A and B are shown apart, each in its own frame.
Chain A
Amino acid sequence: MMRLIEPLNTQPVNSEEKSPSALAILGRELVKDKLAMASIIILILLLSTVYITSLVLNQDQIVKIDLLEINAPPSEDHLLGTDQGGRDIFGQLIIGTRNSFSIGFLITLITGIIGLTVGLIAGYFGGIADNIIMRIIDFVLVLPFLMIVIVCATIVPKFNLWTFIFVMSAFLWTGKARLIRSKTLAERELDYVSASKTLGTPNWKIILREVLPNLSSIIIVNLTLNLAGNIGIESGLSFLGFGLPESTPSLGTLISYAQDADTIQNKWWVWVPASVLILVLMLCINFVGQALKRATDARQRKG
């Protein structure tokens, strides 16, 4: 399911863990959580393999159509066989994973920065600006996101990597902005903000140096979970054929070949490895995110 709303159970962070070592606590909880630790190790191994191998792979070679090798099963030449264009699956997996992760990461970063800026400003200053921003956010959240992205992908003449990231980010900053705003709103009422004002600290400094550090654990949890979500959305759109341009190898595209009855039944090497890769990526990132979330919630902490 595409996650377009924030997870429901973002529990309030209680004052106890606002101690400076909140990040340290997060770290400690992670280490204690065997599943999360395993996830991190898998992620590190997987991603370093992918990024290093992709350096030595020749992408032009991989995307070249080879009519003699259509749908070839795994062999010495092609470790995981080839797809219906005779292209090497293993190579596509590597490049596709790299692309999916990089794009997911970039989108998370961009939406994180926008959401953080907008949310902090709206929450801290309040008033009319906050009102207008919230109206915009409420509206964007209602838009049929998937459909509009698909429409854009079809009608924008040169739809490339950057337009894709741009369109996605244009929608996905809203959830984050809303979360940050509500947390900032609560934080602003605390006396340490008033104290900073009476001590002559300018507003921008209060926002960046006083309020922001107190939101750090929430932000980290949110970004982690979002990273997984964004990878899912990217590969989903590629699956439908509206993600990256066709010439770019992508995990979603490989899985989309499974919509053909022959491929899904008889040519497992085309779609199963890509599916497993995405599942592993998303599960691992989510496990880390959930562990972080538990760590910010004292009720669920492992102690």
Chain B
Amino acid sequence: MAFLEVKDLKVYYPIRGGFFKRVIDYVKAVDGINIRLEQGETYGLVGESGCGKSTTGRALLKLTKTTSGQVLFNGTDLTSVSAHKMHELRKDIQMIFQDPYSSLNPKKRIVDIIAEPLRNYEHLSRKEENKVAREYMERVGLSSDSIYKYPHEFSGGQRQRIGIARALTLNPKLIVADEPVSALDVSVQAQVLNFMQDIQKEFNLTYLFISHDLGVIRHMCDRIGIMYQGRLVEEGLSRDIYENPQHIYTKRLISAIPNIDPAHREKQSAIRHQINDEYNKSYKNYFDNDGKAYQLKAISPTHFVALP
């Protein structure tokens, strides 16, 4: 039994229109995705903007309704579980949000933000709550005396740490991190990422790491899934994806990673052009008539590619 198994997950948003705002079509934000996660690993979900990464993550946490498919967490199907059971399971699955500004309620003190989950699950006294809040603030590298401050008194990176502290208080097993650093300065990004790796070891966390930044993904993830228009086009170990990309879409994404070394810049630009040409030429071979990706096929025990 896998730790987390997503089976043929679909999330369609209705488009209403015409007479009486009937549903006339769907945005197929997620259109049949399969993912397996083992405990302790970091799985990276990559793709261009609007391909459905966030929707996938939010569906796992039941923040959006799934249209069909299953999300099995330790064997329990989250899509059909009772509200009561879900309340219990929420403790194990937490989320880190992209925007450290809107994800902390500006009207609440840090202590109330960090203690919010405790108040829902554990009935502690005020004193104990404060103690826990202080403890977690120190864990994420912030001064424990600042728990009476408000979010706007912290920088973006500090806020993201507070968001992480809040997610950690319930001792979750799985954390969905939706672009946790993309709103941060490059200089702070590495700091937060390293910190996330540290706590992963400390708490034996499993990450579903969502990003559009292949550099960040490479730094963080053991396995990677490449997403395109609601479907996975390629999945494999980090090595498989970066050194041996098979799908034309993956190739194009990887060729687009900027190269810092000036010596290679020209060479890379040439490669990029070449791949772009190839992409336009062989597009038909990789996508079906509707422009959708095919089913994943194994080309090695760890490496899967969507081929006809």
Q: Do A and B come from one complex?
A: yes
Q: Is A210 an interface residue (CB 8 A)?
A: yes
- The answer to whether A198 and B94 touch across the interface, beta carbons within 8 angstroms, is yes
- The answer to whether A19 and B106 touch across the interface, beta carbons within 8 angstroms, is yes
Classify the secondary structure of B's interface with A: loop
Binds B, one of A80-88, A90-98, A189-197: A189-197
Q: Is B49 an interface residue (CB 8 A)?
A: no
- The answer to whether A18 and B120 touch across the interface, beta carbons within 8 angstroms, is no
CB within 8 Å of A: which B68-127 residues? 87, 90-91, 93-95, 97-99, 101-109, 116-117, 120-121
Contacting residues, chain B, for A22 (C-beta < 8 A):
107
Cα distance A190–B98 when bound, in Å?
A: 11
Q: Is B166 an interface residue (CB 8 A)?
A: yes
**B153 closest partner in A (C-beta):** A19
Q: Is A12 an interface residue (CB 8 A)?
A: no
Complex interface bits, B162-193 against A, C-beta within 8 A gives 1, otherwise 0: 01001000100000000000000000000000
Complex interface bits, B135-168 against A, C-beta within 8 A gives 1, otherwise 0: 0000000000000001010000000000100100
- The answer to whether A194 and B107 touch across the interface, beta carbons within 8 angstroms, is no
Complex interface bits, A161-190 against B, C-beta within 8 A gives 1, otherwise 0: 000000000000000000000000000001
Cα distance A21–B149 when bound, in Å?
A: 11
**With A190-B102, A201-B120 given, is the CB distance from A195 to B95 under 8 Å?**
yes
**With A197-B63, A201-B120 given, is the CB distance from A191 to B102 under 8 Å?**
yes
**A214 closest partner in B (C-beta):** B107
**B106 closest partner in A (C-beta):** A18
Interface size on A, residues (CB 8 A): 22
- The answer to whether B116 and A201 touch across the interface, beta carbons within 8 angstroms, is yes
**B99 closest partner in A (C-beta):** A191
Q: Is B61 an interface residue (CB 8 A)?
A: yes
- The answer to whether B105 and A192 touch across the interface, beta carbons within 8 angstroms, is yes
Q: Could you tell me the distance in whole angstroms from the C-beta of A22 to the nearest C-beta in chain B?
A: 8
The listed residue with most A CB atoms (<10 A of its CB), out of B87, B103, B150, is B103
Which of B87, B95, B99 interacts with A200 by CB under 8 Å?
Answer: B87
Which of A15, A20, A190, A216 interacts with B108 by CB under 8 Å?
Answer: A20
- The answer to whether A20 and B170 touch across the interface, beta carbons within 8 angstroms, is no
Contacting residues, chain B, for A198 (C-beta < 8 A):
61, 63, 90, 93-95
Q: Which 9 pairs of residues, A with B, have the shortest CB-CB distance?
A: A191-B103, A213-B107, A199-B117, A200-B120, A18-B106, A20-B150, A192-B105, A190-B102, A191-B97
8 contacts between A and B (CB under 8 A): A20-B106, A22-B107, A191-B97, A191-B99, A192-B103, A195-B104, A200-B87, A210-B108
B residues lining the A interface (CB < 8 Å): 58, 61, 63, 87, 90-91, 93-95, 97-99, 101-109, 116-117, 120-121, 150, 152, 163, 166, 170
